[in-house]
Amino acid sequence: MAAAAESKAKSFRDVVLGLGHFTLPVGDMATALRFYTEVLEFEQVGRKMTPGEIAQAKAAGTIRAPHLSVRMPNGPRMDLFEVPYQRVQFEDDHPHYAFLVKGEDLDSCAQMLRERGIPFDGPSRRGPVGGASLYFLDPWGNKLEYNCQEGYTGAVEDRPPIWSDTLSYIWPK
């Protein structure tokens, strides 16, 4: 048996390449797939299981909950897990997930959300001048954000996000 190769890593900073994936709970897989691929334009990646395959895998104990994977452009994989869902409280800022955009594209993101019937808060800023964010929810109340860290020249309020019932909606409309 070959000996394991000796690691030359001295710290996690030497070996961690970046964020590989993160997970979000959703209440319905079909709606989640449509929302994340049609509204936010992510790409479905990985294994695509039929309802029969999901039932078989659950019975065999190889999965706990049905899930699907989507990938944002230039970003990590997001795994969407179907679970009985409870919304995060509105007054909680966290967790939320920010998608990085260029400053010049933030107003376009606002327009696309408007056209797709997704209410949002912003643009607002909580950091340096030139940065700005739009905050919105997915259909299950997961908190999402389009964020630019510099280069935004539009009008912006210097304040935290306002998570409220005004961001709730029924999708699809």
Please tell me the chain's helix, strand, coil percentages from 3-state DSSP, rounded to the nearest 5: 25, 25, 50
Per-residue burial over 44-60, b = 16 or more CB atoms within 10 Å of its CB, e = otherwise:
eeeeebeeeebeeeeee
Residues of the chain under the 70 pLDDT cut? 1-9, 15-16, 85-90, 128-129, 173
User: Which pLDDT score is estimated for 37?
Assistant: 92
Q: Are strands 43-45 and 157-158 parallel, antiparallel or unpaired?
A: unpaired
pTM of the model: 0.78
User: Which pLDDT score is estimated for 173?
Assistant: 60
User: Which pLDDT score is estimated for 38?
Assistant: 92
User: Which pLDDT score is estimated for 117?
Assistant: 93
User: Which pLDDT score is estimated for 165?
Assistant: 86
Q: Are strands 143-148 and 97-100 parallel, antiparallel or unpaired?
A: parallel
User: Which pLDDT score is estimated for 90?
Assistant: 66
User: Which pLDDT score is estimated for 4?
Assistant: 54
User: Which pLDDT score is estimated for 147?
Assistant: 92
CA distances from 66 to 3, 97, 154 (A): 38, 21, 42
Interior angle at CA 47, CA 44 and CA 50, nearest 5: 100
User: Which pLDDT score is estimated for 60?
Assistant: 85
Which residue segments constitute the domains of the chain, with CATH numbers given?
20-82 (3.10.180.10), 97-167 (3.10.180.10)
